[in-house]
């Protein structure tokens, strides 16, 4: 009997990551679930294994710690239990500004949302290319098209790195897709202390995690380099890409001001 393909999902216990885990399990993929909270990982693994009859392995890791990142990279490098799909999803919102004297939170954001995806994506690619197939999905953000301080800077790296990886992997059978959502209806903003900003965003601008993940997996299946869920966000990215930078800067200042309220 042929074994199922296996997907590794970072940040799997909440928000977009948990939805990726659910939808991949529903497709019949075995899972390796990565997050910091071992208890939540065990509960999610038990639920998905019972509901979808897939194998669920848990790997507790803090991706701001290089040793933990290296352990996940070693799992991606396995030849006996190969990973066929990597979802680089782990991340968090934060309120640090670029002028704060304490850079600890920003350094952690760079570690989790830029350095870790780079290391894990490279490990996955090296393992997948000899097999001639595989998918690497990295969660970036629509904020990569604006200049909204530290968060835009980190997510811009994730987006451009993923695009660069896609170029290097062209013709290998392995694809890299950057998922760039706008506002997603998860606990992300509450956990980051950004409730004020969230309440100022009109209802039409939000997308559910279910639709976000469904469209991301569809785009990855098609080998698309960028995935922008929903037509409004596709149009927003197009407009931001082609607008004069003075307009982008002005919009970014307004978004930053809303974040601070």
Q: Which residues are catalytic?
A: 151, 155
243: left (phi over 0), alpha (psi -120 to 50) or beta: beta
Using CA atoms, how far apart are residues 82 and 7, in angstroms rounded to an integer? 9
Strands 30-35 and 56-60: parallel
Q: How far apart are CA 40 and CA 18, in angstroms?
A: 11
- DSSP letter string, 102-116: --HHHHHHHIIIIIH
| Environment class of 8 (CB within 10 Å of its CB; exposed 0-12, middle 13-18, buried 19+) | buried
Residue 88's CB is within 10 A of a number of other CB atoms, namely 30
Q: What is the distance between the alpha carbons of residues 128 and 148, in angstroms, rounded to a whole number?
A: 35
Both tokens of 79, joined, read 């030849």
CA 12 to centroid of chain Cα atoms: 10
């Amino acid at each position: 009997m042929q074994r199922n393909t296996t997907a590794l999902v970072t940040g799997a216990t909440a928000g977009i990551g948990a939805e990726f885990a659910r939808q991949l399990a529903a497709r019949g993929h075995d899972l390796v679930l990565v997050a910091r909270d071992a208890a939540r990982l065990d509960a999610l693994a038990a639920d998905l294994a019972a509901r979808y009859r897939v194998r669920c392995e848990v790997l507790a890791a803090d991706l701001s710690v290089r040793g933990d990142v290296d352990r996940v990279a070693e799992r991606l490098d396995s030849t006996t239990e190969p990973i066929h799909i990597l979802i680089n999803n782990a991340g968090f919102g934060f309120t640090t500004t670029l002028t704060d004297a304490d850079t600890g939170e920003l350094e952690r954001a760079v570690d989790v949302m830029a350095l870790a995806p780079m290391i894990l994506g490279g490990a996955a690619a090296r393992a997948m290319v000899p097999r001639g197939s595989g998918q690497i999905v990295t969660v970036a953000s629509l904020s990569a098209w604006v200049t909204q301080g530290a968060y835009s800077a980190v997510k811009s790296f994730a987006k451009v790195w993923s695009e660069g990886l896609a170029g290097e992997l062209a013709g290998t059978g392995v694809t890299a897709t950057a998922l760039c959502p706008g506002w997603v209806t998860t606990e992300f903003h509450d956990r980051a202390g950004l409730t004020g900003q969230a309440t100022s965003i009109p209802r039409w601008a939000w997308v559910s995690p279910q639709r976000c993940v469904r469209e991301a997996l569809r785009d990855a299946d098609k080998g698309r380099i960028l995935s922008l869920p929903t037509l409004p966000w596709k149009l927003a990215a197009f407009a931001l890409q082609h607008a004069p930078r003075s307009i982008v800067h002005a919009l970014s200042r307004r978004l930053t001001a809303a974040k601070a309220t």
